[in-house]
Amino acid sequence: MDSVAEETSVENVGEPVVGSSPVKRQVGEEDDELSEVEPDAVPQEVREWLASTFTRQLSTARKRTDEKPKFRSVANAIRAGIFVERIYRRLSSATFLHLPPEVTKILKRVDEWDFNVWRLHEVSTNTPLRCLSYELLNRYGLLHKFKMPPATLETFLTQVESGYQKYKNPYHNNVHAADVLQTMHYMLSQTGLMNWLNDIEILATLMAAIIHDYEHTGTTNNFHVMSGSETALLYNDRAVLENHHICAAFRLLKGEESNVLVNLSREEYREFRSLVIEMVLATDMSSHFQQIKAMKAMLAMPDPSALDKAKALSLVLHCCDISHPSKEWTLHEKWTKQLLEEFFRQGDKERELGLPYSPLCDRNNTLVAESQIGFIDFIVEPSMGVCGDVLDKVAALSIPATPTISEEPQKQLNEPGGPIKRPVRPSGVVGTEVRRPWQDYLAANKTRWKERAAKDAEVRAEMALGHKNVNGDLEEENEEDFIKEEEDKGANENLEEADKEEESAE
Ligand SMILES: Nc1nc2c(ncn2[C@@H]2O[C@@H]3COP(=O)(O)O[C@H]3[C@H]2O)c(=O)[nH]1
Ligand SMILES: [Mg+2]
Ligand SMILES: [Zn+2]
């Protein structure tokens, strides 16, 4: 049987940018982005955190292979998808990983923006990443297409899941990876993005999400650099964590019992590896501003083929990685709590090592609500906006303006457990406009943080005014200061009185 579908190039509209010139960013260029931030719009500490997290000297140079993207005709893909589905259904029951019924029940909502990955974490007895990865690789027909041996798949997914728990991180763990994977699945399946990709590109996109924070140490790149860690030494202080995630994952993929790529051709493996490396390296936050700027420039070009596929997929993964502020409040609030605890544990380490606190890492002096308002305003909202623009552009490229197969946009993309059919018009697209469910949640969450910030400010004011400690007593040393302050104030008032009398006497 030929590949999943006859590769017929409809038209070479996706010509990649050949030999993308090395992008050497001038130092301080993205600092200009920060200069737009009104100095008093955010507290100094939030500004510092923005600067230390999202700006860094960066240069990338990569030669793109001169590949000609082939667009399979949608009709062929649907026919082939149905064909694969029939064969694969028979095969899939033979596979190892049998999902418990309550997991299958939760996964019925995997196509939704509101999917609750914490529920999946609970019902899967802390194997959300393994269950979700298996379900999606199966539903996209990739287990069959790339003949992944079931036992090998089971070993690989089990080892990836445990690698995410190596450092017992509150945030950067297997649940975060599952969250990013499910969000990427939403982008692929509900916006038509998958129609723009061939099977290797879909495999690489899902795998990049699965491994993007593999063996995360629970500390930032800054911490690795400042503390001179072995990993920072190994990667010369550049994208330290991201380089480790990729290297450690590919080392796993080379292992005899965990090499799920064993049946890929040499060319397929090269294409897969190159895309996964580019996508995961692009999750390094220090390349954020440069990435957004470059994508905006690419989107502004009139020629649709200017949209570089690897860069577009990298941006979408980066947005999935910082997407929880654009999810329902209870999910976002929980992620925030987990992340800040992870930052505070780093701060505790910095104090022990005699290092200065990194921004947001001092558990006694961090303005959580304010920092989240800053994160949403300056990072997440702009990023999700550009992500929506990329998806609109891709939808215009790859989804015919009028449905050719069925008038009705497919309601339920796929019955759970069955392979993904390539939808002509996924439910998340109206015309060629991609729905943006994240917008309302971002606005609602920002309002919640502003309310929280106002309350926090009141509490701080009372604490300062009343010089009350946490159990409400006047503190001795404060009492003396307090009395001194009153005396000074009194003295000042007398001085003002005297000045006024002098003026009136003249
Ligand atoms: N301040 C802040 N940073 C976040 C939040 N969510 C994600 N991030 C940062 O964005 C980074 C994205 O890549 P990582 O997941 O490696 O690490 C993440 C955090 O450092 C958030 O809610 N608030
Ligand atoms: Mg990361
Ligand atoms: Zn991440």
pLDDT at 491 (0 to 100):
52
Residues paired with residue 468 on neighbouring β-strands, in sequence order: 474
Ligand nearest to the CA of 285: 1
Q: What is the pLDDT of residue 231?
A: 98
Calpha distance 395→307 (Å, rounded): 12
Residues 6+ apart with CB under 8 A from 260: 146, 148, 149, 152, 153, 156, 253
Atom of ligand 1 nearest to the CA of 372: 23
For residue 303, what pLDDT is reported? 86
Q: Which atom of ligand 1 is nearest to the CA of 332?
A: 22
Residue among 240, 321, 376, 379 whose CB has most ligand 1 atoms within 8 A, to mutate: 321
| Residue of 53, 322, 326 to test ligand 1 pocket, by largest number of atoms within 8 Å of CB | 322
Asked whether the beta carbons of 156 and 130 are under 8 A apart, the reply is no
Q: Given this model, what pLDDT does residue 304 score? A: 78
Distance CA 318, CA 142 (A): 23
Q: What is the pLDDT of residue 314?
A: 98
HEC string for 469-491:
CCCCCECHHHHHHHHHHHHHHHH
Give distance in angstroms: CA of 322 to centre of ligand 1: 6
- Token pair 């010089």: residue: 467
**Tell me, what amino acid is at 355?**
L
Q: Distance from the CA of 30 to the center of ligand 1, in angstroms?
A: 18
Residue nearest atom 9 of ligand 1, based on CA coordinates: 322
Return d(Cα 121, Cα 127) in angstroms, integer.
Answer: 6
Which domains, ranges and CATH numbers included, belong to the chain? 4-436 (1.10.1300.10)
Q: What pLDDT, on the 0 to 100 scale, is given for residue 57?
A: 40
How far apart are the C-alpha atoms of 348 and 368, rounded to whole Å?
Answer: 17
CA distance 293 to 313: 15
Cα dist from 99 to 124, 128, 145, 314, whole Å: 8, 11, 21, 30
Q: What is the pLDDT along the chain (506 residues), one digit of tens a residue?
A: 344 333 333 333 333 332 333 333 343 444 455 555 555 556 666 666 666 676 654 333 333 444 444 445 555 555 555 554 555 455 444 445 678 899 999 999 999 999 999 999 999 999 999 999 999 999 999 999 999 999 999 999 999 999 999 999 999 999 999 999 999 999 999 999 999 999 999 999 999 999 999 999 999 999 999 999 999 999 999 999 999 999 999 999 999 999 999 999 999 999 999 999 999 999 999 999 999 999 999 999 988 788 999 999 999 999 999 999 999 999 999 999 999 999 999 999 999 999 999 999 999 999 999 999 999 999 999 999 999 999 999 998 876 554 443 344 444 445 555 556 555 557 777 766 799 999 999 999 999 999 999 999 999 888 888 765 555 555 544 555 556 655 665 555 555 565 666 666 65
- Are the CB atoms for 157 and 112 separated by under 8 Å? no
ipTM of this complex:
0.99
* Span from the CA of 48 to the centroid of ligand 3 (angstroms): 21
- What is the C-alpha to C-alpha distance for residues 397 and 424, in angstroms, rounded to an integer? 13
Q: Among 375, 383, 452, say which to mutate for ligand 1: greatest number of ligand atoms within 8 Å of CB.
A: 375
pLDDT at 428: 77
CA 149 to chain centre: 30
What pLDDT does 124 receive?
96
3-class DSSP assignment, residue 15: coil
pLDDT value for 455: 94
Token pair belonging to 224: 């690795």
Catalytic residue list? 172
Which ligand sits closest to the CA of 53?
A: 1
Nearest CA to ligand 1 atom 14: 321
**CA Rg value for the chain:** 26
Bind-site residues? 172-176, 212-213, 321, 372
Six token digits for residue 445: 């969450």
Atom of ligand 1 nearest to the CA of 335: 22
CA of 153 to the centre of ligand 2 (A): 24
pLDDT at 56: 53
> Nearest C-alpha to atom 8 of ligand 1 is from which residue?
322
Contact 359, 52 (CB under 8 A): yes
Which residues are annotated binding-site positions for AMP?
A: 172-176, 213, 321, 372
As a whole number of angstroms, the distance between CA 431 and CA 434 comes to 8
Distant-in-sequence contacts of 341-344, Cβ < 8 A, 24+ apart: 341/170, 341/171, 342/169, 342/170, 342/171, 342/172, 342/218
Whole-number Å distance, alpha carbon 377 to ligand 1 midpoint, is 14
User: Ligand 1 site: residues with CB under 6 angstroms?
Assistant: 213, 283, 285, 321-322, 325, 336, 339, 360, 371-372, 375
CA of 242 to the centre of ligand 3 (A): 10
CB–CB of 373/445 below 8 Å?
no
Query: Residue positions in the annotated binding site for Zn(2+)?
Result: 176, 212-213, 321
d(CA 67, CA 149) in angstroms, rounded, equals 29
